[in-house]
Amino acid sequence: MSIKLTIMEQMVQVAREQGRTLAPLRDDLALLDSGLDSLSIAVLVARLEDRLGTDPFTSAEDVHFPVTVGDFVKAYENGAR
Amino acid sequence: MARAEVQPLRRYLELEAADRFFDRAVQVRVGDLVRGTSLGGGLAGLAGRSVLIATSSQLTSALALIELDGVARRITILPPDVDRAHLNALVADAEIDAVVIDDEGRRGSYNLPICVVCSPGIAPLTESVPAAVGTEWILLTSGTTGVPKMVVHSLAGLAAAIAPRTDNEPMVWGTFYDIRRYGGLQIFLRAVLGGASLILSSAGEPVADHLARLARHGVTHLSGTPSHWRRALMSPEIGKIAPRYVRLSGEISDQAILDNLRAAFPRASIGHAYASTEAGVGFAVNDGLAGFPASFLDGVHDGVEMKIVDGSLCLRSAGAASSYVARRGILRDDDGFVDSGDMVERRGDRYYFVGRRGGIINIGGLKVHPEEVEAVINRHPQVRMSLVRPKRSPFTGAIAIADVVLKSACQRAEDEADVKNEIMTLCRNALPRHKVPAAISIVPALAVAATGKLARRA
């Protein structure tokens, strides 16, 4: 499964677990408008570390906060390269 | 319940004829100390001194404690896991001027005027026992970082929660704790004051070997932390012991460990006690349920008064320490209460311990005690023990991660995934969403510190 697909699948899963309503996901959708709150995103990142073996937001010294869903996915794709 | 008068420890050997003390290597007939000594002619020289007990074995520490109570001005008990780098600070603060060791080779390690070697071989006492003095007992706290705090007790205070025995049945105490810490010391004193035998563990002894020795010597009373007990329950040797009394203290006893012990020892009396090095023994709960009845807060119970301030349990009793050595820090408030830092929460007619004040994980401004999450995880029938720890998160500051040890390893990866999902569901049903662990890892083991408590990183 591609990194992007894994992330999308986990977004849906975490939103369901956290009782959040997920907006239709597009690359230019602001993460804060996705329906996921801070806790959901933190949980999502922990879950993805389990699946993808990397956490691009906590391992880096200076954290670049992802603004859009596309940024978020790109952080993982860049880390995988 | 406090004893009307507390005598020097050596006197109890005459009164109650304490039996044998065992470790892996030797057994000692403790009653021989009435007219004997393990200090090789060094007893008189320690009279009125501030003595550090720094033996390598628990057994020689036990003998030295019996000999020196009422003789030394002050005895400081050095637990084996204390960082030696702190030694100079401890010696200076407690004005230590003598040391008891049990290993000739360490004679040069202490730059002190007097060094006495203690051996488990008891020789006839040729000198007379010096006139009795009130001895200060100094215990070290098990704080995780920095120089441990030195807490001042007296034998009367340490023994305040130990009720005189009312039966004559043979009593054989065992302890998973080291007797050089508060929890273990309580067991040592129960053995000496109650005329019992005592089975001590030896450094580096495997749990299975210790259990086998407990079984061989017919242990009737056995004490440890919930972590000690979880580890013991993982050993096949557990089936060989049949104690009448099972005691837990030192960590939160959750319902899962109480139920597991009940299943393992259907006929035993199972009690969980609350105590701390500073506050002394608070209470024991014997109804098989986690937490304690709210009625314990009304009035005085067994000489102990308790109140809750900002969620933290505060205690006042004769069993509390009087101060820190050299007055480093405030131990009691103006009313004599010791703030334990152990946080409690009321549910129905009981209070439950939820964790340490300092151990809180802050998740986006919401507080989580690792222990309350562990208590839920431990309810899963396949879970032996668990540790919830913080992980840094740029989104919420921190998140909670759970490391879980199963009772038996899963054969297939799918089984492991199923167990993780079940634990997650259990947490979601029992906890608000910020307290649900963000991730669960199945791990083969969790580290238990020398204090018998689950090793939590500060």
Q: One digit per residue, pLDDT tens: chain A, 81 residues?
A: 799 999 999 999 999 989 899 999 999 998 888 999 989 999 999 999 988 988 888 766 666 778 899 999 999 998 765
Q: Which residues of chain B neighbour A17 with C-beta distances below 8 Å? A: 424, 428
Query: Cβ–Cβ of A39/B396 closer than 8 Å?
Result: yes
Domain borders along chain B are: 9-346, 360-442
Whether B442 has its CB under 8 Å from any CB of chain A: the answer is no
What global pTM score does this model have?
A: 0.85
Element housing A17 (H / E)? helix A3-17
Query: What pLDDT was estimated at residue A21?
Result: 92
Q: Which of B332, B288, B32, B301 is nearest to B152 (CA)?
A: B332
| CA distances to A44, A69, A74, B102, B399 from A57, in Å | 12, 14, 12, 53, 13
Of A42, A49, A50, the CB nearest to B395: A42
Q: Which residue of A has its CA nearest to B392?
A: A58
Q: What span, in angstroms and rounded, lies between the C-alpha atoms of B230 and B407?
A: 10
Torsion of CA B449, B453, B455, B458, to 10 degrees: -110
Q: What span, in angstroms and rounded, lies between the C-alpha atoms of B381 and B122?
A: 49
Per the CB < 8 A criterion, the answer to whether A55 and A42 are in contact is no
Query: Cβ–Cβ of A58/B439 closer than 8 Å?
Result: no
> Does the domain made of A3-80 have the CATH classification 1.10.8?
no
DSSP letter (8 states) at residue B358? G
Q: Which of B64, B139, B134, B47 is nearest to B94 (CA)?
A: B139
| Cα radius of gyration rounded to whole Å, chain B | 22
Element housing B261 (H / E)? helix B255-264
Binding-site residues on chain A for chain B (CB distance < 8 A): 17-19, 38-39, 41-43, 45-47, 49-50, 57-58, 63, 65
- How many residues belong to chain B? 458
Q: Which of B164, B29, B142, B6 is nearest to B78 (CA)?
A: B142
Amino acid at B330: I
The ranges of chain B with pLDDT < 70 are 1-4, 16-18, 143-145, 457-458
Please write the tens of the pLDDT for every residue from A37-54: 989 999 999 999 988 988
SS3 B5: coil
The pair of structure tokens assigned to A33 is: 């408008």
Q: Which residues of chain A neighbour B393 with C-beta distances below 8 Å? A: 42, 45-46, 57-58
Query: What pLDDT was estimated at residue B144?
Result: 55
Please write the tens of the pLDDT for every residue from B395-411: 888 899 999 999 988 88
Q: Is B447 exposed, middle or buried (0-12, 13-18, 19+ CB in 10 A)?
A: exposed
Element housing B341 (H / E)? strand B338-347
Whether B395 has its CB under 8 Å from any CB of chain A: the answer is yes
Q: Which residues pair with B221 in a beta bridge?
A: B173, B245
Q: Which residues of chain B neighbour A19 with C-beta distances below 8 Å? A: 433
Query: What pLDDT was estimated at residue B122?
Result: 95
Q: What span, in angstroms and rounded, lies between the C-alpha atoms of A10 and B322?
A: 56
Query: Cβ–Cβ of A42/B439 closer than 8 Å?
Result: no
Query: What pLDDT was estimated at residue B403?
Result: 96
Domain borders along chain A are: 3-80
Per the CB < 8 A criterion, the answer to whether B417 and B391 are in contact is no
SS3 B364: coil
Q: Which fold has domain B360-442?
A: GMP Synthetase; Chain A, domain 3 (3.30.300)
Q: Is B233 exposed, middle or buried (0-12, 13-18, 19+ CB in 10 A)?
A: middle
Q: Give the other-Cβ count within 10 Å of B137's Cβ.
A: 21
What is the count of residue pairs from A and B with beta carbons less than 8 Å apart?
44
Query: What pLDDT was estimated at residue B347?
Result: 94
The CATH homologous superfamily to which domain B9-346 belongs is ANL, N-terminal domain (3.40.50.12780)
Q: Which residues of chain B neighbour A41 with C-beta distances below 8 Å? A: 395
User: What is the value of ipTM here, to two decimals?
Assistant: 0.89
SS3 B217: coil
Query: Cβ–Cβ of B401/A63 closer than 8 Å?
Result: no
Q: What span, in angstroms and rounded, lies between the C-alpha atoms of B79 and B451?
A: 9
Contacts 24+ apart (CB under 8 A), B263-267: B264/B233, B264/B238, B264/B239, B267/B242
SS3 B74: strand
Q: Which residues of chain B neighbour A46 with C-beta distances below 8 Å? A: 391, 393, 399, 401, 438-439
Q: Which residues pair with B116 in a beta bridge?
A: B100
